């Protein structure tokens, strides 16, 4: 397993490694020291960190606190503010926590709870009860996006306990039992979203036993428990794309395709070069679209960093031939971008940009 990577920026510019060196023996993570605010902001655009630690006295070039910029621009990355400062209130829309810490013990608690214990990764062909038992034993916190055959659901785990489940429109307990009954499931682990309601009070042992009963009943009745319909194209079937993310992205793409003059729309994970969802009014497929858009977005983010510009790009418009091409980053998921093309003869530029902006603002992966 890869060790978590933590970006650190201290006020000691003469020896930026001093503070990270003092922490190396406290917790099993890799601290990456940054020499300046500029270096930190640039590296955050170029690589992924599991958390960020900055000193409370560190500021942006305009004099504003650096932590406030990080809180707004990196909503899914935990941020720790080191030093003697007042508690902070997370800005609206943040997924990951932000908090002030002033002791080594508080640092260890923060990293243990928000980085080390948060399970991330992927597993294929696994027994969910076995996975849940490991999470319980290690008191892990995470969301499991689960797929078997064509069905997709989610399990929400806090400190090793299953607290909520989502599958179609089933009640949480019924959803949990159904999901735990699946054999040979594929699982994507990621951060537990904020605000998950604790709806399941039963122990894991009880849930596993009841799930076995559900599985036996399904097998005896010949029920096709996992049959659902999907309008996604074959190019989005890879389990590298989480289930609920695909569903939300598909809904967003469909809404954009309803805008007058639209000819194609896609949601792309440009950091991982994955096509999440796509619709087009033309019959031909465009399988290389994700690579082209990914290259463009990585170039844009690097350009913004090198020019010392804010990374909160609203959209990028390209006019070519008889088409408008629009790229709009999705703030709810920092690595995603919405691509849409419109016919210049039938689309109204100002109106379509406003409509796409509203739809993109509303987009977000939410529990069922």
Query: For 38-51, what is each residue's pLDDT tens digit?
Result: 999 989 888 888 89
Q: What is the pLDDT of residue 220?
A: 65
Of residues 130 and 335, more confidence is placed in 130
Taking CA atoms, 78 is separated from 112, 122, 191, in Å, by 12, 21, 10
224 has a pLDDT exceeding 60: no
How far is residue 38's CA from residue 31's CA, in Å, rounded to a whole number? 18
Task: Report the CATH fold assignment for 234-362.
Answer: Beta-Lactamase (3.30.450)
Which residues face 326 on adjacent strands? Answer: 317, 340
For the whole model, what pTM was predicted? 0.47
231 has a pLDDT exceeding 60: no
Q: What is the pLDDT of residue 7?
A: 94
**Range of lowest pLDDT (25-34, 195-204, 301-310, 338-347):** 301-310
- Segments of the chain assigned to CATH 3.40.50.2300: 5-116
240 has a pLDDT exceeding 60: no
Q: What is the pLDDT of residue 2?
A: 62
Tokens of 281: 């009014």
Of all residues in the chain, what percent carry a pLDDT higher than 70?
A: 82
Predicted confidence band at 282 (pLDDT cuts at 50, 70, 90)? low
CB 269 within 8 A of CB 335: yes
Q: What is the pLDDT of residue 342?
A: 93
Q: Which of 169, 163, 173, 172 is nearest to 195 (CA)?
A: 163
Predicted confidence band at 364 (pLDDT cuts at 50, 70, 90)? low
How far is residue 233's CA from residue 216's CA, in Å, rounded to a whole number? 33
Predicted confidence band at 81 (pLDDT cuts at 50, 70, 90)? very high
Q: What is the pLDDT of residue 164?
A: 94
CATH classification (class only), 5-116: alpha beta
- Segments of the chain assigned to CATH 3.30.450.30: 234-362
368 has a pLDDT exceeding 60: no
């Amino acid at each position: 397993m890869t060790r978590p990577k933590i970006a650190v920026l201290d006020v000691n510019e003469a020896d930026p490694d001093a503070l990270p060196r003092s922490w190396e023996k406290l917790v099993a993570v890799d601290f990456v020291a940054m020499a300046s605010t500029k270096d930190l902001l640039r590296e955050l655009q170029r690589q992924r960190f599991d958390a960020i630690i900055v000193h409370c006295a560190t500021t942006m070039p305009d004099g504003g606190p650096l932590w406030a910029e990080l809180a707004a621009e990196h909503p899914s990355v935990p941020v720790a503010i080191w030093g003697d400062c007042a508690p902070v209130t997370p800005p609206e829309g943040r997924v990951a926590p932000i908090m002030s810490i002033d002791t080594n013990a508080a640092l260890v608690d923060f990293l243990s709870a928000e980085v080390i214990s948060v399970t991330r990764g992927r597993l294929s062909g696994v027994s969910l009860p076995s996975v849940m038992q490991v999470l319980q034993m290690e008191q892990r916190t995470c969301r499991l996006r689960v797929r078997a055959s064509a069905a997709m659901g989610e399990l929400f785990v806090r400190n090793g306990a299953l607290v909520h489940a989502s599958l179609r429109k089933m009640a949480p307990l019924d959803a949990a039992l159904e999901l735990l009954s699946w054999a040979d499931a594929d699982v994507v682990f990621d951060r537990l979203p904020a605000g998950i309601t604790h709806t399941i009070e039963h122990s894991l042992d009880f849930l596993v036993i009841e799930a076995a009963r559900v599985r036996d009943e399904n097998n005896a009745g010949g029920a096709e428990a996992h049959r659902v319909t999907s309008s996604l194209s074959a190019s989005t079937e890879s389990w590298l794309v989480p289930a609920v993310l695909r569903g939300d992205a598909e809904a967003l793409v469909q809404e954009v395709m309803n805008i007058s003059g639209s000819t194609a729309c896609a949601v792309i994970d440009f950091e991982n070069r994955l096509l999440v969802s796509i619709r087009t009014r033309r019959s031909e497929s465009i399988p290389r679209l994700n690579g082209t858009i990914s290259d463009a977005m990585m170039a844009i983010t690097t350009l913004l960093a090198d020019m010392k510009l804010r990374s909160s790009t609203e959209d990028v418009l390209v006019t070519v031939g008889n088409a408008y091409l629009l790229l709009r980053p999705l703030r709810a998921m920092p690595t995603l971008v919405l691509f849409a093309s419109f016919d210049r003869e039938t689309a109204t530029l100002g109106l379509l940009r406003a409509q796409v902006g509203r739809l993109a603002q509303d987009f977000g992966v939410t529990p069922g």
